[in-house]
Amino acid sequence: MQENVILVDEADNAVGECEKLAAHLEGGRLHRAFSVFIFNDAGELMLQRRALEKYHFGGLWTNTCCSHPRPGETTLAAATRRLMEELGFTTALVEQGSFLYRATDPLSGLTEHELDHVFVGRFLDAPTLNPAEVMDWRWQAISEIEAELSAHPERFTPWFPLALAYVR
């Protein structure tokens, strides 16, 4: 099944659609995306390690869930859908802000050029991983994540530290 993303301008106005993989070729086309951050009651963040088979940035640690809304789907609805598809749960989410970035995966050559909406929620149990999407997960304190990001940024997706700034 072909999946399309929503192309946007820098003000997040929809300007068209594009097949998902094509939106990541030749420097990337600006499209709408989201990053979800799920915390437990101890204030720890649920991190996921992307499956090695992901089309880009496979095997890297990142926020709880991230993806793209489909045409005709709200960003909040898409974030809720992807939490279930990747991690097997849903929870209430609140948007914290958005940012624009561009990053190229040196292994695949694909480029993310996104206007990324950041959502936060709470969950207290273990997720049920979809192995096609997620190879590992952990709860971790923000201070520990920041120390690891500083010492080993290559272990994380390039959007993760940018999005993390919205939930500190």
Q: Catalytic positions, please? A: 66, 114
Question: Nearest CA to 74 among 117, 122, 133?
Answer: 117
Give me the torsion for CA of 48, 46, 161, 56, rounded to 10°.
20
The two three-digit tokens of residue 126, written as one number = 């273990």
The two three-digit tokens of residue 112, written as one number = 């993310």
Contact yes or no for 34/118 (Cβ under 8 A): yes
**How far apart are the C-alpha atoms of 53 and 100, rounded to whole Å?**
26
Contact yes or no for 138/42 (Cβ under 8 A): no
Mark residue 164 as left, alpha or beta (left: phi above 0; alpha: psi -120 to 50; beta: remaining).
Answer: alpha
